[in-house]
């Protein structure tokens, strides 16, 4: 699947050539979203109708682009027309000062740094145990 920059994605949406398709889970979209994007969580891929008007291009995105890239084949098969992914996901969109809707931070947004530290400590413990 080809990719487009966030600015190109916005131009295509504004021109009526494309629709943004957010593959993040509902809990993630509560804290940061793009107005008008269609929600199609990866956990419910087969349950969402991806029929777009006027043969529009589907521009898939997630938080950073990693999940979209890893699932590009599955995502492309959902849409009979052209499908692309947005480079860098919604993080790149927001980083380019493009309009977003900001809500309250979800649990994972608050917990992510703590979980990272816990994971690092557990990894370090495992490595130290293996050495001794």
Q: Using 50, 70 and 90 to split pLDDT, how confident is the model at 123?
A: confident
- Contact, 87 vs 4, CB < 8 A? yes
Q: Is 105's pLDDT higher than 60?
A: no
- pLDDT tens-digit map of 57-95: 999 999 999 999 999 999 988 888 899 999 999 999 999
Q: Is 117's pLDDT higher than 90?
A: no
Pairing of strands 18-22, 38-39: parallel
State percent of the chain over pLDDT 70.
93
- pLDDT tens-digit map of 43-54: 998 787 788 887
In the block, tokens 């490595």 appear at 127
Please tell me the distance from the alpha carbon of residue 5 to that of residue 122, in angstroms, as a whole number.
37
State the number of CA atoms in the 13 A half-sphere of 122 facing the CB.
6
Q: Which of 36, 28, 49 is nearest to 105 (CA)?
A: 28
- As given in the structure block, the two tokens for residue 53 are 């008007």
Please tell me the distance from the alpha carbon of residue 25 to that of residue 9, in angstroms, as a whole number.
21
- Contact, 38 vs 54, CB < 8 A? no
Residues in CB range of 17: below 8 A, 6 or more apart: 56, 57
Structural domains for the chain: 2-106 (3.40.250.10)
Count the Cβ atoms, other than its own, within 10 Å of residue 77: 11
Q: Which residue has the higher pLDDT, 15 or 121?
A: 15
């Amino acid at each position: 699947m080809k990719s487009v920059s966030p600015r190109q994605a916005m131009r295509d949406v504004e021109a009526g050539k494309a629709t943004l398709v957010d593959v993040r889970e509902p809990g993630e979209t509560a804290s940061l979203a793009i107005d008008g994007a269609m929600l199609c969580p990866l956990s419910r891929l087969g349950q969402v109708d991806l029929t777009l008007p006027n043969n529009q291009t589907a521009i898939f995105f997630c938080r950073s682009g990693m999940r979209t890239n890893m699932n590009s084949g599955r995502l492309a098969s959902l849409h009979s027309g052209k499908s692309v992914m947005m480079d860098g996901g919604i993080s790149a969109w927001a980083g380019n000062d493009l309009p977003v809707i900001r809500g309250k931070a979800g649990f994972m947004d608050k917990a992510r740094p703590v979980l990272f530290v816990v994971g690092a400590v557990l990894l370090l413990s495992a490595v130290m145990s293996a050495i001794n």
